[in-house]
Chain A
Amino acid sequence: MILLCGIPTESPLAMVRKALDGSGEHYLLLNQRQFSVMDIILEIADGRSTGRLRVNGDSYPLEEFTAIFTRLMDYRFLPELKDQPDGSPQRQLCRNLLDTLNRWAEVAPARVVNRTAAMGSNFSKPFQAQLIRRFGFEIPETLITNDPELVKAFRARHQRIIYKSISGVRSIVQTFNDRDMERLENIRWCPTQFQAFVEGTNVRVHTVGHETFATAITTDATDYRYAHRQGGNHAKLRAVELSDDLAQRCLELSEGLGLAFAGIDLKVTHDNRAYCFEVNPSPAFSYYEAHTGQPIARAVAAYLAGE
């Protein structure tokens, strides 16, 4: 049986669920917002995990789950806990439930999309960039600093540079302009990542098991996810084929990071050099599938089903 964890209306989870319905696979949907009707026991002995998950009075041995797809959100932001004070029994129950689920997923002999430890590299972009480089991808020249003078010199050398956060917290990638120069002193309190701008085509590659789905994005914005906000037209997405070599490198990168499912952000230059900016371990693939019709959810469902 497959376990789906998260909020059922969240698009990626809903799409994987629909794909599983279509293929007739047996699954259990664990609605995170209904945590008060669930409990879980995890036991580990001799290197083997066992236990049981109970939902609405129905009990499921943990050993029966052969795959886990998790899109769990930070429990502190659940509407059900909005009015609960810190340390309330409800908050504690929810936290302990998610913690026990996560602990089990880390050691379960199942296909897990994705394990927390494997997702860790995305918490620091410069750390992940070093891992990415090992798999043959180019990384734009990068400066991480809180020294405005170094940024000025970096800009003078590269002419066009972009900036973004260092952490895994989503930030909007921006082109550094003259207005930013006026507030550059602010970085003294917030080390920031600057990179040489790379000309080329944005390509998002989703890897699922041994499959790849590549989407090219045409945009005049620095960050295509926020193309309209950055004053341009909406980004245009289209499915593209990767060369065998690039597809293989993407698969090796995901596997090397321990990710069964990943969203790899590339920029492919006119002379076919592939720069990699980031590997997202919990990709919101629904945006790409909705625009291109690429069967990513179906591939995730097939992977969970053991295919």
Chain B
Amino acid sequence: MSWLFALPMPVINRADAQGLCGAWRHISEWVWLAGRAGLPTPLYSQKSTDRIDETVEIRRLHPVGTPTITAIVVGERVFGPHLPSRILAGCLRLAQLAKAGLLGIEFAASASENGWTFAGATPMPDLRVGGEPLLNALAEELF
């Protein structure tokens, strides 16, 4: 981690104490940040009496199996599905708040604009979502 952090060349999502590819945040922190970024978020609830062992199971904002759509932010650009402008701006703002040069943002899928609901974020998204344009953007950031 220290070596990755020390690399002098451009690094997308430089290593951090919370993760080797940038901060790997808990879902409670992601949903909090997403709300601050202006993205529509579901109510997050966590209780000390919850019967969940987070050492073996992750908390989710939506039930397992909920269809999701992923957008990916690279710098100032967003790749993936066509997004309403308000959602697009929220994605960029979330990446800024998270200090992430590369960020995958998941939404629970719905046909209407009002149905775009934040479902999670990761500094290590599946890059296939953005295809060649995304790879070109990454290359521009790196070289």
The segment from B45-53, B78-86, B101-109, B120-128 found at the interface with A is B45-53
**Shortest CB–CB separation between residue A57 and chain B, in angstroms?**
15
Pick the residue among A49, A97, A117 that contacts B18 (CB under 8 A): A117
Q: Per-residue 0/1 for A239-281: is the Cβ within 8 Å of any B Cβ (1 yes, 0 no)?
A: 0000000000000000000000000000000000000000000
The segment from A17-25, A35-43, A295-303 found at the interface with B is A35-43
CB closest residue in chain B, given A103: B28
Q: Per-residue 0/1 for B50-73: is the Cβ within 8 Å of any A Cβ (1 yes, 0 no)?
A: 111110000000000000000000
The segment from A123-131, A198-206, A282-290 found at the interface with B is A123-131
B12 at interface by CB-CB < 8 Å:
no
Q: Are A38 and B26 also in contact (CB < 8 A) when A45-B43, A107-B32 are? A: no
Residue contact A124 to B28, C-beta cutoff 8 Å: no
Q: Per-residue 0/1 for A81-108: is the Cβ within 8 Å of any B Cβ (1 yes, 0 no)?
A: 0000001000011011101100100110
Residue contact B23 to A44, C-beta cutoff 8 Å: no
Residue contact A100 to B2, C-beta cutoff 8 Å: no
Residue contact A100 to B46, C-beta cutoff 8 Å: yes
B6 at interface by CB-CB < 8 Å:
yes
Q: Are A44 and B32 also in contact (CB < 8 A) when A96-B52, A121-B17 are? A: yes
A26 at interface by CB-CB < 8 Å:
no
Count of chain A residues with a beta carbon within 8 Å of a chain B beta carbon: 32
Chain A residues near B52 (CB-CB < 8 A): 96
Count of chain B residues with a beta carbon within 8 Å of a chain A beta carbon: 32
Residue contact A42 to B46, C-beta cutoff 8 Å: yes
Within residues 1 to 59 of chain B, which ones have a CB less than 8 A from any CB in chain A? 1-2, 5-6, 15-18, 23, 26, 28-29, 31-37, 41, 43-54
**Shortest CB–CB separation between residue B37 and chain A, in angstroms?**
8
Pick the residue among B32, B37, B43, B48 that contacts A39 (CB under 8 A): B48
Residue contact A41 to B1, C-beta cutoff 8 Å: no
Residue contact A42 to B17, C-beta cutoff 8 Å: no
CB closest residue in chain A, given B23: A117
Residue contact B17 to A39, C-beta cutoff 8 Å: no
A231 at interface by CB-CB < 8 Å:
no
Pick the residue among A42, A97, A100, A124 that contacts B1 (CB under 8 A): A124
9 more contacts with CB within 8 A, not counting A92-B53, A103-B26, A121-B17, are A45-B35, A47-B33, A87-B53, A96-B50, A107-B29, A117-B17, A117-B18, A127-B17, A144-B2
- Chain A positions near chain B (C-beta within 8 angstroms): 38-49, 87, 92-93, 95-97, 99-100, 103, 106-107, 117, 120-121, 123-124, 126-127, 130, 144
Can you report 28 A-B residue pairs in the complex whose CB atoms are below 8 A from each other?
A41-B45, A42-B45, A42-B46, A42-B47, A43-B45, A44-B31, A46-B41, A47-B33, A48-B35, A87-B53, A92-B51, A93-B48, A93-B49, A96-B48, A96-B50, A97-B48, A99-B54, A100-B46, A100-B48, A117-B17, A117-B18, A117-B23, A120-B16, A124-B1, A124-B2, A126-B2, A127-B17, A144-B2
